[in-house]
Amino acid sequence: MRLVILDNYDLASEWAAKYICNRIIQFKPGQDRYFTLGLPTGSTPLGCYKKLIEYHKNGHLSFKYVKTFNMDEYVGLPRNHPESYHSYMWNNFFKHIDIDPNNAHILDGNAADLQAECDAFEKKIKEAGGIDLFVGGIGPDGHIAFNEPGSSLVSRTRLKTLAMDTILANAKYFDGDLSKVPTMALTVGVGTVMDARELPAAFFPLNSTPFITLMVMILITGAHKAFALYKAIEEGVNHMWTVSAFQQHPRTIFVCDEDATLELRVKTVKYFKGLMHVHNKLVDPLFSMKDGN
């Protein structure tokens, strides 16, 4: 597990975007080899999306051979509603890049059979070969996607009733009218994000394991999420703080700003800051790429 601490939100967003960019470029996607990316919504990833759009417009990054899977969607909200996650993703990201719309997968909260929609989503992920990099954000209570406190840590994509705290928090997006706020959503499960990606043995040299785990990157910014970050990395795994499950994932990166570290022990912050020279090597190739090297 890595914890990358940047001075502020903008720097944290830029680091995350550079990391995503490098992962895609180093993968060398093509017509027969797509890079598969899991994506979040909310306010936290907006800065990251803006930087990715910038890299694309500057000619450094293409999404032509990238497939995406979003984490969640409200139930019963029209797809073209300004607060639907379909609208969020197209307005804030997809329409600004060269992704094929057929490769941008978002759960349909208006499907006739919601369970069948969830099952089909899991099947699509499997058919894509698993997810190479899952990017997530969390709420102040430590939930990832709509896996709120008490969710099973082995859960799969499913229909979820939203907690009253979530409904109240979302009211600001619906003119403060609770009657307009969706009370249910479709969401990937914790187990969906934790899953591993299995590749044919032909991809690997002799005496190596034909098993490659996906990478999970969690974005956590702001003082209001400091306690959730503390629960995520300094205490044990707990289904009341679903983000804590990623302590058990072999390749998790938490990317945060200084404000989000306010509840962490001083020695924890010092330890991970002491590793920043290692963490920065994960994004350094982007600098040389810009220079044309």
Specify whether 263 is catalytic: no
Specify whether 148 is catalytic: yes
Catalytic pick among 14, 73, 117, 148: 148
Distances (CA, A) of 94 to 42, 76, 83, 97, 129: 15, 22, 16, 6, 22
Q: CA 85, 128, 196, 70: dihedral to nearest 10 degrees?
A: 0
Catalytic pick among 14, 73, 122, 141: 141
Catalytic pick among 56, 105, 143, 279: 143
Sign of the Cα torsion 186, 217, 104, 197 reads negative
Catalytic pick among 72, 132, 257, 259: 72
Specify whether 73 is catalytic: no
Specify whether 60 is catalytic: no
Q: How far apart are CA 264 and CA 9, in angstroms?
A: 18
Cα angle 239, 217, 104 (rounded to 5 degrees) comes to 100
Both tokens of 268, joined, read 């924890």
Both tokens of 51, joined, read 């930087």
Strands 158-161 and 184-187: antiparallel
Left if phi > 0, otherwise alpha if psi is -120 to 50, otherwise beta: which for 150?
left
Task: Report, as residue numbers or ranges, the catalytic residues.
Answer: 72, 141, 143, 148
